[in-house]
Amino acid sequence: MTPPITVIDKATCTRLAELTRETMAAHAAGLGLTIKGHNSTYDDLTATVKITFVVDNGESHPVEAEAYRRMADSPVVWEIEPDDLGKTITLSGNREMIIAGWRSRARKNNILLDDPNNGKTYTTSDSVVARFFGRKQNVEVVTDIGSLFEKTP
């Protein structure tokens, strides 16, 4: 019989997190979900384990892929299309990358690219992807500054 836990330390928190993720993964797989484990926190009496459930749709970055689809439908600075997700582009000579998603918190390099040769994920800007497909900047030119403001009587 395992002795009861009286104080939670780092090793105990790590083991609790592993047990929780293993148990939840078995149930999540039956529902078509995968689990992403995150950092756990602890003090002397409590342990907090963060678990994220993600729909398993075969994409390497499902949350970022959905963000890419949303951004492609909105008026962003460069024209990107929802259908570009999963397409292969060639960068830096002969380096082929697969468009995997959109990093919504990134200001500049907001496109995720997967390298099928080494399994690593890289980032680039939306302008690089748009230029690869021969698209231009999606910006309206305002010639009459007064048309931007409503006139009140």
Residue-wise pLDDT for 27-68, tens only, equals 888 888 878 777 889 999 999 988 888 776 666 677 777 787
Local confidence band at 109 (pLDDT 50, 70, 90 cut-offs): confident
**pLDDT value, residue 151:** 57
Classify residue 83 by its DSSP letter: G
**Residue 141 pLDDT level (bands cut at 50, 70, 90):** low
Q: What is the pTM for the complete model shown?
A: 0.54
Q: What is the mean pLDDT of residues 122-148?
A: 73
Tell me if 133 sits within 8 A of 111, measured CB to CB. Answer: no
Q: Given this model, what pLDDT does residue 146 score?
A: 62
pLDDT value at residue 27: 87
Rounded to an integer, the average pLDDT of 130-150 is 67
Residue of 117, 123, 121 lying closest to 95 (CA atoms): 117
How far apart (Å, rounded) are the C-alpha atoms in residues 95 and 113? 11
Kindly report the average pLDDT of the chain as a whole number. Answer: 80
The answer to whether 64 and 58 are in contact (CB under 8 A) is no
pLDDT higher than threshold 60 for residue 18: yes
Contacts 24+ apart (CB under 8 A), 84-89: 84/129, 84/133, 86/59, 89/113, 89/129, 89/132, 89/133
Instruction: Render pLDDT for 75-97 as a digit per residue (tens, 0 to 9).
Output: 665 677 888 888 888 887 788 88
Does the pLDDT value for residue 153 go beyond 70? no
Q: Which residues contact 16 (CB under 8 A, 6 or more apart)?
A: 8, 40, 47, 49
Q: Are 112 and 61 in contact (CB under 8 A)?
A: yes
Q: Computed from CA positions of residues 20, 61, 82, 68, in that sequence, does the dihedral angle turn out positive or negative? A: positive
| pLDDT in the model for residue 140 | 59
